[in-house]
Structure 1
Amino acid sequence: MLSSKPLNRFQTREELSTAIRDRESRRYHLWRTAIFAIIIGSLTFNFFLAFANTNLFGITDSYVILVELILIASTLALALDRKAAPLTILAVFLGYMVFILAMRSELDLKAVRDILIPLAFYFAGKKLRRIEDADQIVFISAYIVVGVGLFEFLFLDTFTRFVNIFDYYVARGTLNPDDALIEGSNLFISATRFEGRNFFPFLGNTRASSVFLEPVTMGNFGAFLCLWALFRHGMKNRFLLFVLAFMVILLGDARFGMYVCVAFFLVMPFYRLVPRIIWWFTPFTLILALAIYGTATDQLTWEDNFAGRFYLSSQLLLELDTEMLFGISPEQVFLEDSGYAATLAQIGLVGVLALWTLFVFAPAGRPEGHKFKVLAIVFISLMMIVSNSFYSIKLAALFWFCAGAADGWRHDPAPRFRAG
């Protein structure tokens, strides 16, 4: 019950005001519990589906799609209220997606999902009353990832006995049975460093994936933890979050995640000095650099290093024709190793420009919000060079929720809460 008696039965204004505050506080805490559960579910559902596939019943791609639909729909229900702006933005972009998808030969719901995830979780994050609530869900997520990752790394045989990662990805159609690089391996294909680990080689060749099941998102998550720790200067236990970020990157042997963390520290002294329009140009500058490099380089083969990933991304970007650039090509081409190429082909240049502009120039309630925005721009721009894994709800739910919280963080008391 939200109140012990109807509001119109209170004798004084003070009693009525207290009752209203108590009711709104209970509604807010209930809402916060629900949205936290969704974020944790987004983080871990693949892990539990892999467990089910190994021990209980067969999983197909339909299970993954259904769970994601439930998570996104639930988030939208909690994020949207009677405010016109979120509803208008959502309606405009859904209409835009219907328009470009109508020009393709097949209905591609993944493209719609790629837009719904950032919109839904961003608007949900903006409804947070306190930035400390965002700190809490970040720490909870970090503890889960590090805890499962340590168990996987220390007790790998036991872990894979109950969670067969390779079979799960085969069952959902992401991998083929003959894709295994090691015969009999139960891990994702990139979970083994054949040439040895980059960090502390004496730890062996295995890269922990934790609840993400694959090490790429593991490294991205570690970089995000570093981002949040840098952003939240006055946060309680801030140093601990840096330690957790390092542990995630170490467990996943995520060299690119470490590069991104270094980039965060390099831009921090200058984030106030650079105009926002320059930050807006950052990903497009990188796209231009990739295109120039792809046309000028004489490199012929891919290598498993940053230069190799840069080369591969440039080649995939150069495969885009005009129809792909605007997201209306009827052909389905594998572009997932280049986040920029995949994004343009899925959403189209018009959609990309609109979404990116909305994010970069969205007003923040406090000056600190600009710091998060700059770090987020660096994070997104660098991650999109090597893959489109940033769109995965496993990480995107938490990231966009925190992005909304950073923009919605205000000095003044929180406005009256509306659950939806």
Structure 2
Amino acid sequence: MPASAPAFRVAPRVSAHAPALSRADGISWLVVAGAVFNLALCFINTRHVVTVHNSEIVLCELFIIFLAFLEVRNTISPAVVRITGVMVCFEVGAKLINPGLDMKILHDLAIAYVFYQLGTRSTPRAGERTIWVMMAIILFIGFFELMFTNLFGMVFDVWTYYVNKGVIASTTVNYSNTNLFISGNRGAAASRTFFQSIFGSHRVSSIFLEPDSLGNFSAIGFAWCLSTHLGSRLRHACLFFLSALCFVLADSRFASGCTVAMVLLRLTPLYRSRFVVFAMPVAVMLGLMIQGANHEMPGILPSIIGDNFSGRLLFSGRLLDYWNLPQWFALAPSQVYTADTGYAYIINNLGLPLTLFLLALFTMHPARTEAAVSIKAMISLYFSTSLCIGASVFTIKTAALLWFLYGTTNSVAPVADTVRQVPERLKSFRFNRFSPSAEHVT
């Protein structure tokens, strides 16, 4: 190698217990299954083959997670087993004190870890193929829903599916007069943000059955495009465009703002700093609390006064400000439901110390490639913004893809099969706010 050429770190050797990469390249079908199984169950329920309730949906989801676990079981380190044991013991103990604690948070964390590990057994090119396959399915179903809405409702009765699931009450008035999800239509005073004259009030949900998840998929697509450079420039630009098309179809205000923030972050050296990755969600949560403290309403429980983006932010801030110490340590139930504010959902079910510990683990986890450094920062930004208005980032429909893609950038595949490795000259990392150095690779 010429002396002037940058040196690249060779990826760690695959352990004897790791599955063959040729086999691992085909396991991404579990990610696709996690995204489309709700659509399949909705079809079964609509055709009255079986009446699908929440229990059947949970069993299908757990089965997919179990299959993914079987693929990665030999790669789980003893440290992870010990940490998991401590977390489970804490959650069980806290549940005895706080009956309102939702043990589902362990399921959410399991999705993140298992599908990340699944990604590390695959390759970035398999991740690229996976997102293209999902994009093709999503756009096909999405345009079918958009152009033939009544026929789509006859095939997929989304409203009844969510009533059976328990998300929508059977007494809820369906003002849209369609079979779409309750948020699948911007009617009355709530006008569409993008191309109202073309799309009307319809918000496309595609395979996810709800538009919020399509917006999340769009943000994940942007994070992947900003972090990797696989294939031709035309192909890469096309994936950028299609990701933007997804948030336009879903009319996702969150996704449009999040993708702009991702682009701005990627244009600065701050995305390389572990401090920034750790600080973003903490700073946003503190900002919400300050906003809530400035709009206190003594004696009145926090509620969503205006069902828009600013109203949801204010609700999140007021709820965090309203809490006492037991709520912050998961030792007492929240006085108000936490489904519409992700920060409250996490902290009231894990406790602030454990939440910060898990965030630190994610932040300090070494990145093997330049793409992993970038996508880690994009994930932190994605969570920082999305948790302000809900906990949809934890649904397997999009979370499986997100963590799988992150895992592929930390793949154990040979260097020839991966994205560009972190140069040796960028290995050193200064743990400070404005460090331009890449993460230390071990």
Normalised to the residue count of structure 2, the TM-score between the two structures is: 0.82
1:320 Cα offset (Å): 3.0
Secondary structure at the aligned position of 1:193 is classed as: coil
Pick from 321, 338, 359: which aligns with 1:318?
Answer: 321
Alignment partner for residue 198 of structure 1, among 193, 196, 208?
193
8 Å CA contact 2:341, 2:388 repeated in 1? yes
CA change 1:39–1:101 in 2 (3 A) is same
For the structure 1 residues 342 and 108, does the alpha-carbon distance in structure 2 shift closer, same or farther, using more than 3 Å as the test?
Answer: closer
Aligned to 2:35: 43
Kept in 2: contact 1:105–1:331 (CA 8 A) = no
2:119 maps to 1:125: yes
8 Å Cα contact 2:112/2:400 also seen in 1: yes
Q: What is residue 341 of structure 2 aligned with on the other side?
A: 338
Q: Check 1:57–1:234 CA distance in 2 against 1; reply closer, same or farther (3 A cut).
A: closer
* Counterpart pick for 1:271 among 262, 269, 272: 269
SS in structure 2 at match of 1:228: helix
Query: Aligned runs of 1:351-362 on 2, under 5 Å?
Result: 351-362=354-365
Aligned to 2:25, the other structure's residue is in SS state helix
* Aligned counterpart in structure 2 of residue 258 of structure 1, from 238, 256, 259: 256
Post-superposition CA distance 1:4-61 (Å, at most 9, x none): xxxxxxxxxxxxxxxxx9x99994333432x322111110111111111111221111
Cα distance between partner residues in 2 of 1:196 and 1:330: 36
Cα deviation 1:115-147 (Å, max 9, x = unaligned): 21111111221222x211111111111111111
Counterpart residue number, 1:179:
172
Equivalent pair of 2:270/2:276 in contact (CA under 8 Å): no
2:97 alignment partner, SS class: coil
Match of 1:63 in 2: 56
Distance 1:213 1:323, change over 3 A: same
2:337 is paired with a residue of what secondary structure?
coil
Map of 2:97 onto structure 1: 103
Matching residue of 2:331: 328
Name 2:213's counterpart in structure 1.
217
**CA deviation after TM superposition for structure 1 residue 308, in Å:** 1.7
User: Do the aligned residues in 2 keep the contact of 1:149 with 1:209 (CA within 8 Å)?
Assistant: yes
The change in CA–CA distance for 1:262 and 1:106 in structure 2 (over 3 A counts) is: closer
Tell me, yes or no, if the aligned pair for 2:372 and 2:409 is still in contact at 8 Å: yes
Which stretches in structure 2 are left out of the alignment for 5+ residues?
A: 1-13, 298-302, 419-442
Q: Is the 8 A contact 2:328 2:352 kept in 1?
A: yes
1:93 aligns with 2:96: no
Correspondence for 1:227: 223
Change (3 A) 1:320 1:124: farther
Matched residue of 1:178: which SS? coil
Shift of 1:351: 2.2
The sequence identity of aligned pairs, in percent, is 28
Note the alpha carbon deviations across 1:143-163, whole angstroms, 9 max, x for none.
111111111111111101011
- Counterpart contact for 1:366–1:411, Cα < 8 Å: no
Partner of 2:46: 54
Q: What letter corresponds to residue 349 of structure 1 in structure 2?
A: L
Q: Per-residue deviation at 1:273?
A: 6.9
Rounded to whole Å, the distance in 2 between the matches of 1:39 and 1:75 is 9
User: Are 1:44 and 1:211, in contact at CA under 8 Å, matched by a contact in 2?
Assistant: yes
The superposition leaves residues 324-370 of structure 1 with CA deviations (integer Å, 9 ceiling, x where unpaired) of 21223256841111110111112221221121111111001123321
1:3 — aligned with what?
none
1:370 aligns with 2:380: no
Deviation of 1:247 after TM superposition, in Å, equals: 1.6
Cα contact 1:225–1:242 (8 A) shared by 2: yes
In 2 relative to 1, CA 286–151 (structure 1 residues): closer, same or farther, beyond 3 Å?
same
Hey, what's the Cα distance between the residues in 1 that align with 2:394 and 2:304?
Answer: 27
Whole-Å Cα distance in 2 between the matches of residues 347 and 148 of structure 1?
37
Of the three residues 126, 131, 134, the one matched with 1:141 is 134
Tell me how far apart the structure 2 counterparts of residues 376 and 28 of structure 1 sit (CA, whole Å). Answer: 25
State how far apart, in whole Å, the 2-side matches of 1:189 and 1:289 are: 30
Q: Which amino acid aligns with 2:211?
A: P
Distance in 1 (alpha carbons) for counterparts of 2:313 and 2:100:
30
Q: Contact between 1:86 and 1:123, CA under 8 Å: does it hold in 2?
A: no
SS at match of 2:166: coil
Structure 1 residues 163 and 285, CA gap change in structure 2 (3 angstroms): same
**Structure with a larger share of its residues in helix:** 1
Shift of the alpha carbon at 1:92? 3.7
**Alpha-carbon RMSD:** 2.6
Q: By how many angstroms is 1:387 displaced? A: 0.7
**Range that drifts further, 203-212 or 328-337:** 328-337
1:280-295, aligned counterparts within 5 Å?
A: 280-295=278-293
Would you say the 8 A contact 1:80–1:123 is kept in 2? no
Aligned length, in residue pairs: 392
Secondary structure of 1:81's partner? helix
- Is contact 1:104-1:330 (8 Å) kept? yes
- Which letter maps to 1:211? I
Distance 1:183 1:399 in 2: 32
